[in-house]
Structure 1
Amino acid sequence: MLLFRQFRFDPERLALYRGQTAISLRPKVAQLLNYFLTHPNQLVKREQLLNALWQHGEFREAALNQSITELRHALQDNAKSPIYIKTLPHQGYVWICAVKADSNNKRRLGVKAAIGLVAIALLGGVYSYKSVSIPPAQLQEKAQLLIHPMQNHTGVQANAWWGYALEGTLRERLKTSFHLIPKSQTPDYLNKPEKVPPQQLVLSIKPMQQRYLLQASMAGRHAQVLVEELDNNFIEIADKLLDSLTTNTSRSVTKLNKVNGLSDYYRGVQALNEHGPILAKSYFEAALTQTPDHLPSRLELARIAWGQGNIQLAKHYFNGIDLQTAPYTLRARYHLYLGTFQKVLGEFQRARLSAKNALVMAEQSQHIELMASTYQLMADVAWNTLQWQDYTHAMSAAHALIGSRSFAYSEAQRSFYLANPPAAGPQQKNLVNLSQSKKVLEGAIQYYRQSAQRIELARSLFAYGQNYLVPVSESESSLLEALEIAKESGEQYLTMQVLTYLGFYYIQLHQGEKALYYLEQVALVQAFKPALEQLSLLKAMAYMDIGLTTNRHTALKRAQQLFESLLSIDTTSDTVRANVTLLLGWVALKQGEIDKSQMLTNAALEAYEAGGLSDAMSYAKYTQMYIYLLRNEPDKALKLMDLDRDKEAHLMLFYSSVAAHLTNDEQLFVKTQEMLGKLNNSQALLDQLERFKYQSQGDAKLIAELLDAPYSVYCQSKWILE
């Protein structure tokens, strides 16, 4: 046992304790701590750590940064005034805290020093020890293997289920020998030729004289197996293939028992990926009829049930799952599915606990995809509960595991909150790598168009349509295609998500009537509280948009009623309550009620500050600036200016320029005008500044006529119709 300050660390179990309390660490973070403790007061270069702990992998640097952050967080260490880990810029790290061995463990420590560190490969999940007594082969990280979906040349689409079953069996057999690349990452590898390619297992099947010929190739080896019929023989066939393809590779020889209903289960998996839940449901139910305790089928039925809006049936299936003998991977998937269900219901504390349980199970199985999905669920929960530090931590962890793909799907579906109302989000939005996500999604769409996996195509199109770097003309077509697929497949929850986003999308384009057309199509059960709240807010915004752009008093009145209704509901979230307050301030501003608008805007600003909603604070601030300009109080407007923090906020710079001109501060006027000119889509605002310079000053009516109001661009939307 290694002791430092109030902590104890067991190097054999990789367990950290503070007093009698165990501190949860990811295996990789525990390994990093172990390395530091066995190298105290030494300069440890980053390359040392990368070579020792992350020998391979595309995101080694990001993984190290994330692990250092997690370790400091667990130890409550401050990077600026460290107690444990000191950073030497451009050099590395030094463990500066005294370390001593428990007297009862000195002999064990000596053995440990001889062995060195425990290396747990982030992507491999294999425990290996650096020691002269260990064969070199065991020190190597597992090779990556990409198993392609089986090419079905039988001419019968219904036979595709057998390929899913064969692939599942092969994955089970090969998981101890290779790092298996998750199926969802296949587009990444196929569309990035500059990457070091992994080994690939290619499968195809075709008819041959009333039988089937299965062909496979891997690492230069080829195998053929004649299959009499496509039934539950996939376990036997998988073993025959691997005997030919992996002669010199050790692999799992665990006996895989045949289970009644497996063919129906795999038919359900195929249907779920290619056709949607309606068809898949009948297959999973058939599998349960034959094997009532088949947990994978029950778990998929639980997810299908809540996705179809059947809350009670989903709870029935979840409650009927006994995990005592289930493998870690299935346990992780159970907690992940349950946590997602709880998040949709607005049960965020329960969802957080389920996510933690899922992460523990996923780490036990070293299933990278499940770990990343769990971190993304944690990020979703943190986002909804305004826990920005937890959100940043979770998304950083997901990025360290699977790179930009973690943002391509999860972050795309939050980005419209981050940059536009309904406004929410942490100040640190550097993680939103929309550029890289766009590339990932382009590759995914291209791949899924060529495959039969239409549900994944719909999800990729949906995420692509939300990416701000995608031209409006492309994003609209992507969203509409995603909607068409979701409707055809019976994916009701996905359909709801796409319809809701389309409502927001057309609000951004000031097409309120079109927004309402899609929002009115959303069918939701009352249990989906967060989604219902979002839908109510967007409907109110659509009416507000109609009123603002057409001067229709009835539309503004309807928007006001819907906003006030949201404020009257006790369960309305703090974020939505703050947004509604600001939006009501905009309505009042349009109606000429300046005092009321200022009161509401001040209340919104206080709420944003309390919730740590840094981006949204700028919306309230530039609304206040506009009100001060209307009142001919430019000095007060300038006091709200923060050019460092708000240098990308169009209206903050725009109103600052106006205020600078009104106070005859020519130097500030030139500076803010130049900063505004560097932003995309700023020409219309610059033209207004030029016209304003030559008009009489201090006239509120003139200001209202010449200058864009805070609501005119819907919080700096950067979209352009192309």
Structure 2
Amino acid sequence: MACYQFAAFTFDADTGQLLHQTPTGQTETYLRHKVSLLLTYLLTHPDQVIHKDVLLDALWDHSEYRENSLTQSIRELRKALGDSAQNPQFIRTFPQRGYQWICPISEPDHQDAPKIAKAANVEKAEPQEAPPATQTRRFSKPVMFSGLLAVLILIAGFWLMQSPATVKSPGMHHKTGLVVFPMLNDTGKAEFDWVQLGLADMLSVQLNQSNTLTVIPPALAKAWLLDAELSWPALPAQIRTLLKQRGYEAALFASVRLHNKQQVLTFQVIYADGRTQQGSMTYPQLASAMHSVSHQLKRLLSPDDTHPLPQKSPAIAVQTLAQGRSLLQTQGAQAARKYFEAAHILEPDNLWTQIQLAGTEVLLGQWQQAAQRLQALPEAQGRHEPALYAAQRYWLGELSYRRGEPDATALTQAAVQAAEQSQDPQLLIQAYQLQAQLAWNEMDWEGHQRLTGQLIAILGKGQALRHDADQQFYLGRPASVGLERSPSNDLAANQVRLFKALNFYRQLGDQPRQAATLLAIAQNDQIDPPIRESSLSDAIAMYRQLGQPYELALALIYQGFYLMQSHQGGMAEDYFAEARALAEQLGARRLLLDSEFYLAFAAMDQGLDLQWLGKHPQQAQHLARADQAFTELLKKKDISPLLQANIALFQGWIAADQHNMQRALQHLDRADSLANTLNLPLTQGYIRYSKMRIHLSQHDYTAVTELAKFPMVTRLEAVYAARAYFELGHPEEATRVLTHFRQSLPKQWQSEDEQRLQDYRRTIQGQAITLPPEPKAHLVYCESDWL
């Protein structure tokens, strides 16, 4: 084992382990395999200026992306070492030439091997183990298309969700926990890229039919790699560590190559206890032989398995289905659909192909076709195959949810029950995610947190957060209209993992999850605005390319909402109008209501007096248009109480700006009643300070102080209450209110609040001051987060 020491680092070239000794202890990182090879090459050629072509020839296969890969690997290596290109301590860049290792190093020390192995907590394999033959390979060039959130939901449906299998002794009868990693395309031909995910996914489905195996499919295996901050291909020692952490017994690592016009599957089964089984199988067409491949692997892994050999399907149909499943995870539903359609034509009685096709139709907005296809599945055969029935139940629930139908909750619960009865963990993931979305929409924070906790336990936080990140901002989904947010959301902590996830998916060429992560970054208000804006723009562009109208409408509404924070109602209205057109086209009831609400919101923004912010004075025609739109919206029979509460609040703002204070208070009283019934504390805070501002304008300061007796959750409540106490001749109380607010909600404290506090203190000292009018209540739409 070659171990290098430099600065405060110790690097194990065999395992890719990088140890960093710090004043507070020792940190451990496993470098991506290509980055590990790069560091080893630099360490073995210290002080030499190594031309980039030399590095490319030594470490990379020939492809058009290899220079980008070198640049990315240098960037990753510098990040792992805490190095800077501007002030390098380890790697110096010579523009247009190459790189030089400049840090003094110790020669390889083989005696350090036991210490490194102990630090990594990795059991060594038996002597006969050899690393996978394709270990230094990487994924073939990805096809650069777009993905989106709904594709993530669909892919998540192929993930497994089940308590990790307990590792028992080989002699006992139990289910072996097997993790199937993506296959490597070792053919040298881009047309075989589909084997990486498509063939691996089909193999995991076949293996999962065994009575003695619990199989983790490639999509979930990739999620685990992300959570462990590992890249693929990973080293055997890293795989064993991952297996032990997850409580699984074995992992399947395979590659596909060509030999004498035959397709060769070379595989290794890597066990957590150090054992290794390896071999190869040769067939003219691996896709058509997948039933035989899976049967042989089952016998290898579970000799007692008596499950019969699966029925063989037409070769071209199987390969076409596998290609579709692969494209679903790289280019999205639009690219995958034509393959599923072809597979259905080739094998019309294959019900799983029909389920796949229906799923893509849901994602592509072809809802009537999807509903007809799902409802036409034979009930008897579905009941005979519990997993098939559960998949059908899920897509019916998902379709009902997207349509905004009242039976979405019942259908989702039926999907959960069917998934539990099928004992198919991958279907449980789908159903639980949909159930968590419904819990969020109903502001059932406890239920949402419980379901997210289940996802974290299985997927790892890096992936479960992807699901939770969709809802991180309280108006991130149009279904979450209003001001409330989950108290358990930790946006600051999540942003770190979001960027790690985005980098991971870019390395893997996983476009659907890239798009989902970009939208989640845009929704996280702890991230710098320029990054959020570019992420949102990229996400919308991806959704347009994919042609998935529902997800596009969601992103458009969020883009419009983002613009509303800077009072760009005219620009926002264009986005909301496009979202409404898409909702009408789809027949998405709830989405249509939400888009109409936002259109009225944008009209209100264009009409309110915003001179305080250096913008336009009141525009009466826009205010009238907004008020009429809100009134028409309230006439809709399926409008939710939550939406009604927000409309009442906004109509209160409109009436106040029109100086009709009596009508404004009537709207606000109605909003308060609804918010109290729905238990919306933040919304009630907005309502209270809106009433306070009206009472201030009427010089009814006592009414303001009465409202100040409630717990303050917004900045303007404190500002208005302090002003009322000052006008009543109690500057000490005004000072106390602002001081308490600064201590309890420091993130909302602004410079003008400090000026107010100093003014009130000067009054206490006997100085005469003149205070300007307080800002109007409608100037900040989301005060608690958009400062």
TM-score normalized with structure 1 length: 0.72
Secondary structure at the aligned position of 1:505 is classed as: helix
The 8 Å contact of residues 187 and 447 in structure 1, kept in 2 or not, is answered as no
Deviations 1:376-408 (A, max 9, x none): 322333444566765565555555655644453
Question: Which of 163, 167, 174 pairs up with 1:124?
Answer: 163
Question: Which of 145, 154, 157 pairs up with 2:187?
Answer: 154
Secondary structure at the aligned position of 1:324 is classed as: helix
Whichever residue aligns with residue 739 of structure 2, its letter is Q
The 8 Å contact of residues 660 and 669 in structure 1, kept in 2 or not, is answered as no
Q: Tell me, yes or no, if structure 1 residue 334 matches structure 2 residue 392.
A: yes
Aligned length, in residue pairs: 583
In structure 2, stretches of 5+ residues that fail to align are 1-159, 231-237, 244-249, 271-275, 611-615, 765-769
Secondary structure at the aligned position of 1:563 is classed as: helix
Question: Which of 192, 202, 214 pairs up with 2:265?
Answer: 214
Distance 1:534 1:177, change over 3 A: same
Question: Which of 578, 583, 600 pairs up with 2:667?
Answer: 600
Secondary structure at the aligned position of 2:255 is classed as: strand
The 8 Å contact of residues 650 and 676 in structure 1, kept in 2 or not, is answered as no
Secondary structure at the aligned position of 1:201 is classed as: strand
Distance 1:685 1:209, change over 3 A: farther
Counterpart for residue 169 of structure 1: 203
Counterpart for residue 511 of structure 1: 568
Deviations 1:168-221 (A, max 9, x none): 223532574346267246234334359951254333223445444433333244
CA distance in structure 2 between the partners assigned to 1:419 and 1:487 by the alignment:
18
Secondary structure at the aligned position of 1:224 is classed as: strand
Q: Tell me, yes or no, if structure 1 residue 640 matches structure 2 residue 707.
A: yes
CA distance in structure 2 between the partners assigned to 1:203 and 1:476 by the alignment:
40
Deviations 1:439-460 (A, max 9, x none): 4433332222122432222122
Q: Tell me, yes or no, if structure 1 residue 532 matches structure 2 residue 592.
A: yes
CA distance in structure 1 between the partners assigned to 2:453 and 2:467 by the alignment:
15
The 8 Å contact of residues 452 and 468 in structure 2, kept in 1 or not, is answered as no
In structure 1, stretches of 5+ residues that fail to align are 1-120, 129-133
CA distance in structure 2 between the partners assigned to 1:695 and 1:555 by the alignment:
42
Counterpart for residue 717 of structure 2: 652
Secondary structure at the aligned position of 1:206 is classed as: strand
The 8 Å contact of residues 146 and 180 in structure 1, kept in 2 or not, is answered as yes
Q: Which is further off, 602-611 or 510-519?
A: 510-519
Q: Tell me, yes or no, if structure 1 residue 669 matches structure 2 residue 770.
A: no
Q: Which is further off, 180-189 or 552-561?
A: 180-189
Secondary structure at the aligned position of 1:325 is classed as: helix
The 8 Å contact of residues 419 and 615 in structure 1, kept in 2 or not, is answered as no
Whichever residue aligns with residue 493 of structure 1, its letter is Y
Counterpart for residue 102 of structure 2: none
Counterpart for residue 505 of structure 2: 448
Counterpart for residue 544 of structure 2: 487
Distance 1:667 1:308, change over 3 A: same
Counterpart for residue 777 of structure 2: 710
Counterpart for residue 105 of structure 1: none
Counterpart for residue 498 of structure 1: 555
Deviation at 1:530, TM superposition (A): 0.4
CA distance in structure 1 between the partners assigned to 2:658 and 2:643 by the alignment:
22
CA distance in structure 1 between the partners assigned to 2:287 and 2:333 by the alignment:
23
Q: Aligned-pair RMSD on alpha carbons?
A: 3.7
Q: How does 1:30-429 map to 2 (within 5 A)?
A: 123-124=162-163, 143=177, 145-163=178-196, 164-173=198-207, 176-178=212-214, 180=216, 183-184=219-220, 186-193=222-229, 197-198=242-243, 199-219=250-270, 220-240=276-296, 246=301, 253-260=307-314, 261-326=317-382, 327-348=385-406, 350-384=407-441, 394-395=451-452, 398=455, 402=459, 404=461, 405-410=463-468, 412-413=470-471, 415-417=473-475, 423-424=481-482, 429=486
Deviation at 1:360, TM superposition (A): 1.7
Counterpart for residue 66 of structure 2: none
CA distance in structure 1 between the partners assigned to 2:776 and 2:227 by the alignment:
45
Whichever residue aligns with residue 219 of structure 2, its letter is K
Deviation at 1:471, TM superposition (A): 2.1
Distance 1:294 1:421, change over 3 A: closer
The 8 Å contact of residues 224 and 460 in structure 2, kept in 1 or not, is answered as no
CA distance in structure 2 between the partners assigned to 1:520 and 1:425 by the alignment:
22
Q: Which is further off, 496-505 or 167-176?
A: 167-176
Deviations 1:540-574 (A, max 9, x none): 22222233342251333332232222123233222
CA distance in structure 2 between the partners assigned to 1:595 and 1:601 by the alignment:
10
Deviation at 1:539, TM superposition (A): 1.6
CA distance in structure 2 between the partners assigned to 1:306 and 1:171 by the alignment:
22
Counterpart for residue 85 of structure 1: none
Deviation at 1:603, TM superposition (A): 1.0
CA distance in structure 1 between the partners assigned to 2:777 and 2:733 by the alignment:
25
Instruction: Indicate the percent of aligned positions where both proteins have the same amino acid.
Output: 22
Counterpart for residue 103 of structure 2: none
Secondary structure at the aligned position of 1:413 is classed as: coil
Secondary structure at the aligned position of 2:699 is classed as: coil
Deviations 1:99-158 (A, max 9, x none): xxxxxxxxxxxxxxxxxxxxxx99337799xxxxx9896598864x44222222434444
Secondary structure at the aligned position of 1:217 is classed as: strand
Distance 1:623 1:641, change over 3 A: same
Distance 1:193 1:567, change over 3 A: closer
Whichever residue aligns with residue 197 of structure 1, its letter is L
Distance 1:612 1:402, change over 3 A: farther
The 8 Å contact of residues 708 and 717 in structure 2, kept in 1 or not, is answered as yes
Distance 1:383 1:167, change over 3 A: closer
CA distance in structure 2 between the partners assigned to 1:527 and 1:603 by the alignment:
30
Distance 1:242 1:385, change over 3 A: closer
Question: Which of 604, 616, 637 pairs up with 1:544?
Answer: 604
Q: How does 1:668-707 map to 2 (within 5 A)?
A: 669-676=735-742, 678-687=745-754, 689-690=756-757, 693=760, 706-707=773-774
Whichever residue aligns with residue 394 of structure 2, its letter is L
Deviation at 1:526, TM superposition (A): 5.7
Deviations 1:567-613 (A, max 9, x none): 23233222212111111111222333322222211111111122233
Which protein has greater RCO, CA pairs closer than 8 Å, 6+ apart?
2
Whichever residue aligns with residue 623 of structure 1, its letter is S
Q: Which is further off, 313-322 or 437-446?
A: 437-446
Secondary structure at the aligned position of 1:123 is classed as: coil
Deviations 1:16-53 (A, max 9, x none): xxxxxxxxxxxxxxxxxxxxxxxxxxxxxxxxxxxxxx
